[in-house]
A and B are shown apart, each in its own frame.
Chain A
């Protein structure tokens, strides 16, 4: 059974960088069958796809965040990470990592709540 677990600070100051890590168990992120995604859910409820990365490091990002987002992968640790720079209150959300099968996100982490506030 694939499991994903997000980790990182729950509070980030405005203008700073939000950094989260997703640790994957039950599957190897080195396989070329999947993409590894970050998705967020704002307090009002909607889901927003942020981007994903392949095992080879190829990345795709939502255009509206592309200038501030970086997703990286650490194969040896079976982890991938999200960096979001210059955060504002609008970046306050629950952040999920997920495995993407090529059809859809198919396994989700439990999510981690991040608040942007001074």
Chain B
């Protein structure tokens, strides 16, 4: 598998919640808890917002949460703000090849 599977785009209104999925296999997402999420604004570098499935780095608000069920990880953003409009990428380790795989990215539009 060359990339993890994410929806290409999602949209929601301010104040609502949105969930972005990331589907892999038993060799990556489903095999451990080394799943992360990164946010990228246009023309900027990605920034880590969730690691180890559901942990937030310092400074990331608790509106951002992560979860996993089987081979699908999810990022939920609650209380949507216009500033949340960005691209979101999941990533996972592949232990059998000691490498990292990314999702194709999801473009979030806040209407």
Name A residues whose Cβ lies closer than 8 Å to a Cβ of B.
Answer: 37, 39, 45-49, 51-52, 60-63, 96, 100-101, 103-111
CB-based contact B102/A106 at 8 Å: no
Contact A106/B51 with A45-B105, A49-B101, A49-B102 known, Cβ cut-off 8 Å? yes
Chain A interface mostly helix, strand, loop or mixed? strand
State A51–B97 Cα separation when bound (angstroms).
11
Residues of B within 8 A of A48 (CB): 102
B99 touches A105 (CB 8 A): no
Q: By the criterion CB–CB under 8 Å, are A49 and B100 in contact?
A: yes
The chain B residue sitting closest to A60, CB to CB, is B98
- Whether, in the assembled complex, B26 has its beta carbon less than 8 Å from a beta carbon of chain A, the answer is no
Say yes or no for B61: interface residue by CB 8 A criterion.
no
The A/B interface has a contact count, at CB < 8 Å, of: 61
Nearest A-chain residue to B57, judged by Cβ:
A106
- Give the 6 A-B residue pairs with the shortest CB-CB distance, closest first: A104-B36, A49-B100, A47-B102, A108-B45, A104-B51, A60-B98
Candidate in B3, B38, B55, B99 with the most chain A CB atoms within 10 angstroms: B99
- Are B97 and A101 within 8 A (Cβ)? no
Q: Is the CB of A104 within 8 A of B48?
A: yes
A–B pairs, 18, beta carbons within 8 Å: A45-B87, A45-B105, A49-B99, A49-B100, A49-B101, A52-B100, A60-B99, A63-B97, A63-B99, A96-B45, A103-B36, A103-B51, A105-B38, A106-B57, A108-B46, A108-B47, A109-B45, A111-B45
Task: Tell me, in angstroms, the Cα distance from A100 to B99 when the chains sit together.
Answer: 12
Among A39, A48, A104, max chain B CB count under 10 A is at A104
Complex CA gap A45/B9 in Å reads 13
Nearest Cβ distance between residue A97 and chain B, in whole angstroms?
10
Cα–Cα distance between A29 and B56 once the two chains are bound (Å):
23
Chain B, residues 55-70, CB within 8 Å of chain A (1/0): the string is: 1010000000000000
